[in-house]
Structure 1
Amino acid sequence: MIDLDDLDRRILRALSEDATQSSGALGRKLGLSQPATWRRIRRLEEAGAIRGKRVELDLARLGFGVTVFLGVKLATKGRLSLEDFERAVSAIPEVQTVEHILGAYDYRLRVTARDIPDFERVLRRRIMTLPGIGNVDANVLLSEERLPGPLG
């Protein structure tokens, strides 16, 4: 675990809201010089506190109006079946996240599709044919609110 001071937390909070801002712009908001801000960001990256920077896409505007969370229970378990499943499910472009979880299901998948018929096609032709697939439970996303997280 990395030791964070208040300024580090403020930098992380600001970057989590908008990772595209320059170190100069961020420094001006926080009352730091550009070089001091850049050094802190670099230190946070090197320590692993910042793993990357992403662009947030508006899936609905891109034609993907349905998001479904799938709970997947594998029929067989073992190191080989887990790896086979993870490798195969990661190759499906509609699957946005693959989470190995503890509980009623082995995996939680976030799947995006254009509409319900498109989701059904992905489910039948791609997901249900995966190695080791057992039971699948679907929950359709109605709305989503982003929360600031532990630093907020």
Structure 2
Amino acid sequence: MIDLDDIDRTLMRALVGDASQSTGALAKKVGLSQPVAWRRIKRLEESGVLSGRRISLNAEALGFGVTVFLGVKLATKGRVSLEDFERAVTAIPEVQTVRHVLGLYDYRLRVVARDLPDFERVLRRRIMTLPGVGNVEANVLLSEERRPGPIG
């Protein structure tokens, strides 16, 4: 576990907000020189605290106005059915995330669609035909607040 100070946390918050910022811009935000900020960021990356830089796509701007969270309970249990389901579900372009969870459902999926009829098509033709699918519960996203999560 790495020791984090307030400057590390400020750097992490700034990177979570916009990972495309230059090291010079980040240094200015936290009151450091560019080389010192770069060394701190490098240390955070090497320790595994920071991993990867991502671009977020705006689903609505791309024409996907509906986001649905699906709880999927598999009808059959066993290692083979889990692997078959995961392989098949990750091949569906509308499925953004696949999370294997413990609880009432075996998986939580984040699915985007152009509208509700499009979602119904994806559900009926793609998701409900996947290997092992039993019960499915859908929750339509109404609004979302993005938060960086806990930063020690």
Q: Tell me the equivalent position of 1:59.
A: 59
Distance 1:132 1:2 in 2: 42
Instruction: Percent identity, please.
Output: 76
Q: Deviations over 1:100-147 (max 9, x none)?
A: 111110000000000111111111111111111111000000111122
Distance 1:2 1:88 in 2: 38
Tell me the equivalent position of 2:20.
20
Distance in 1 of aligned mates of 2:149 and 2:143: 18
Q: State the 1:12 CA deviation.
A: 0.6
Paired amino acid for 2:146: R
The letter for the 1-side match of 2:79 is R
Q: What is the DSSP-based 3-state SS (H/G/I as helix, E as strand, rest coil) of the residue aligned with 2:122? A: helix
1:71 is paired with a residue whose SS is: strand
Give the secondary structure class of the aligned counterpart of 1:104. coil
Please give the residue correspondences for 1:64-143 in structure 2 after superposition, counting only pairs within 5 Å. Answer: 64-143=64-143
Look up the SS of the partner of 2:108 in the other structure.
strand
TM-score, normalised by the number of residues in structure 2: 0.94
Q: Which runs of 5+ in 2 are unaligned?
A: none
Instruction: Summarize deviations over 1:62-102 as a string: whole Å, max 9, x none.
Output: 10000000000011111221111111111111001111111
4+ runs deviating over 3 angstroms: none
TM-score, normalised with respect to structure 1: 0.94
Per mean C-alpha deviation after superposition, the further-off stretch among 55-64 and 132-141 is 55-64
SS at match of 2:124: helix
Q: How many residues align?
A: 152
